[in-house]
Amino acid sequence: MLLKSMVKPKERLTTVREDATLEEALTILEDSGFRCVPVLDETGTLFRGNIYKMHIYRHKSRGGEMSDPVTSLLKNSTKYINVNAAFFNVFFSIKDLPYITVLDDNNHFYGILTHARLLDVLSQSWNVNVGSYVLTVVSSGERGDLASMAKIITKYTSIASVITLDAQEGELVHRTMFTLPSDVGQKKLERIIDNLERKEFRVPEVEDLQAFNR
């Protein structure tokens, strides 16, 4: 499944045991170079939360004891998803976190999904390495708009990928981004745009992927 293939598994991660002290946790963080890591129970199967380097330093600067248990500064203990969670739900879970913890069907720690990996998968959906242009097409969101836009474009070429975006607050419009394949040149692009706009679809933005890849 898609989500599982994106997860960095436990075996490849730096983690901290819940019986570690803040001093020990800081050493692990400094050696690894990560700003936070997961904290697991003594068996390495249960997720307890995340420990952040900045929180340890703040604790230390305020005169806190570095011999305190790492559990005293745990964060994000309820921030996790199941390995079988719908891909769409990931966006509502990860938000401002550097990564979201992933649990298996037994609620055991499976691994993490990082922001970087999520963005990498999203960038692949644009097919930037095999595309020529990305058209942002604005429509009213009426039933059949997507089919109509696709029909116009496929008169001239295939579609490498398509992403639809929600209407912005206060605007009764939808934005759909079409990636055209690499064999589409400037003249064909202009014909596609002209036909879209004659059918009252606006094309406010065209991204040249060939320039992007140079």
CATH number of the domain where residue 199 is located: 3.30.70.260
SS3 state of residue 131:
strand
- In this structure, how many other beta carbons lie within 10 angstroms of the beta carbon of residue 14? 12
The number of domains in the chain is 2
Looking at the structure, tell me whether residues 71 and 155 fall in a common domain: no
Angle between helices 145-153 and 186-198 (to 10 degrees): 150
Characterize the bridge pairing of strands 131-139 and 174-181.
antiparallel
Write the burial class of residue 64 (CB in 10 Å: 0-12 exposed, 13-18 middle, 19+ buried). middle
Query: What is the domain extent for residue 108?
Result: 2-120
Looking at the structure, tell me whether residues 143 and 189 fall in a common domain: yes
Positions in the chain short of pLDDT 70: 1-2, 123-130, 166-172, 212-214
Instruction: Please report the pLDDT score of residue 131 as a whole number.
Output: 79
Instruction: Please report the pLDDT score of residue 168 as a whole number.
Output: 53
Using one digit for the tens of pLDDT, what is the confidence trace for 156-170? 999 998 888 765 555
Instruction: Please report the pLDDT score of residue 119 as a whole number.
Output: 79
Looking at the structure, tell me whether residues 71 and 146 fall in a common domain: no
Looking at the structure, tell me whether residues 191 and 157 fall in a common domain: yes
Instruction: Please report the pLDDT score of residue 170 as a whole number.
Output: 52
Looking at the structure, tell me whether residues 106 and 148 fall in a common domain: no
What token pair was written down for 173?
């419009």
pTM for this one? 0.70
